[in-house]
Amino acid sequence: MTVLEYLVDALSGGGIYALLTIGLALLFSVMGLMNFAYGELIMTGGFAIYLLRDLPWPLMVLGTIAAVVAIALLTERLAFRPLRGASPLTLLIAAFAVSVMLQNAARMTVGPRAKGVEPYPWLDGTISLGGVDVQVLDLVTIVVALALIGGLVALLRRTRLGVQLRAAAEDFEMASLLGVKANRVIAAAFAITGVLAAVASLMLVMKQGSVSVTIGSVPLLIAFVGAVVGGMGSLQGAALGGFLLGAVTAVLDAALPGELAPFRDAFVFGLVIAMLATRPQGLVPAPEVRV
């Protein structure tokens, strides 16, 4: 393996994980919700891809994003809005309930067995970069992840809604006291989460070539660990934590010798434990106001 190959693996693995953690951290910082139904948003995306697989790819992508955003907004409206202001523990239990309901609804409708989704042939190919063969899917993943994160940063920095979201993430009550509309900001956060989950599901399904009701479980765990590594409640931290987690996993995947490869996750989580032992507040702690 060359440095370039490692770099492509690290960037594409880190890119997907960063999208996942940002989605989870955004809701946590805005409303104290650790959304364990996030995995089911990814599952929704997976099934939307499966159901729309015969459409031209741009329509399939748009349809998938629309479906996941719709489910994300629906869970907000029906499950989380009535619990506004409840303790994080209550929200956590509600999120578990939503997760179980969505998973079982999918089992009853689309079916319990994994479905194969044929990846697009053009994504499957490789192109030569600096003498190294690189998978098109990896390149697309990197470009899309960068574009999405860049778009999200621009939204958060440049737009009125973005500034309101950041303010609400820091101090929800104070933002309300200035007239920031809670329902609007929270719905926007859920919609953003939906877009991120939809794109992550596209990457995952194209990579795995199949979709099942549990497709979101591992990504949820990764997003959770990434958010903890980065520092709960800080969006930059979440992006960094997710990225590092993904990059380290991808590099270990490629670099570990055959007999150690099955223990990849043990290495990754060993590093996480070592990191948390030295920096329990995460890499980028949530901003604190100096008084």
Partner 1 sequence: MLEIRELRARYGSIEALQGTSLEVREGELVGLVGHNGVGKSTTLKAVAGVLKPSGGEIRWLGEPLRGGAAGTIAAGIAYVPEDRRIFGGLTVEENLRLGATTRADGADAVEADIARELERFPSLRRLLTRRAGNLSGGEQQMLAISRALLSRPRLLLLDEPTLGLAPIVIDTLFETIAALRDEGLTVLLVEQNVAKTIKVADRAYVMAPGGRIELEGAAAELERSDAFRAGYLSLAPTRQMKAVTA
User: Where do contacts with partner 1 occur on this chain (CB under 8 A)?
Assistant: 160, 163-164, 166-167, 170-171, 173-182, 287-291
Cα of 32 vs its chain's centroid, Å: 17
User: Strand pairing partners for 115?
Assistant: 211
Q: Are 23 and 216 in contact (CB under 8 A)?
A: no
Residue among 206 and 232 whose Cβ is closer to partner 1: 232
Residue among 208 and 236 whose Cβ is closer to partner 1: 236
DSSP codes of every residue in 257-280: -TTTGGGHHHHHHHHHHHHHHH-T
- As given in the structure block, the two tokens for residue 73 are 């907004």
Q: Give the span between the Cα atoms of 186 and 29, in whole angstroms.
A: 11
Q: Cα–Cα distances in Å, from 180 out to 91, 163, 184, 204?
A: 22, 10, 8, 36
Residue among 273 and 291 whose Cβ is closer to partner 1: 291
CB of 84 to partner 1, least distance (A): 11
CB of 29 to partner 1, least distance (A): 10
Residue among 25 and 213 whose Cβ is closer to partner 1: 25
CB of 161 to partner 1, least distance (A): 11
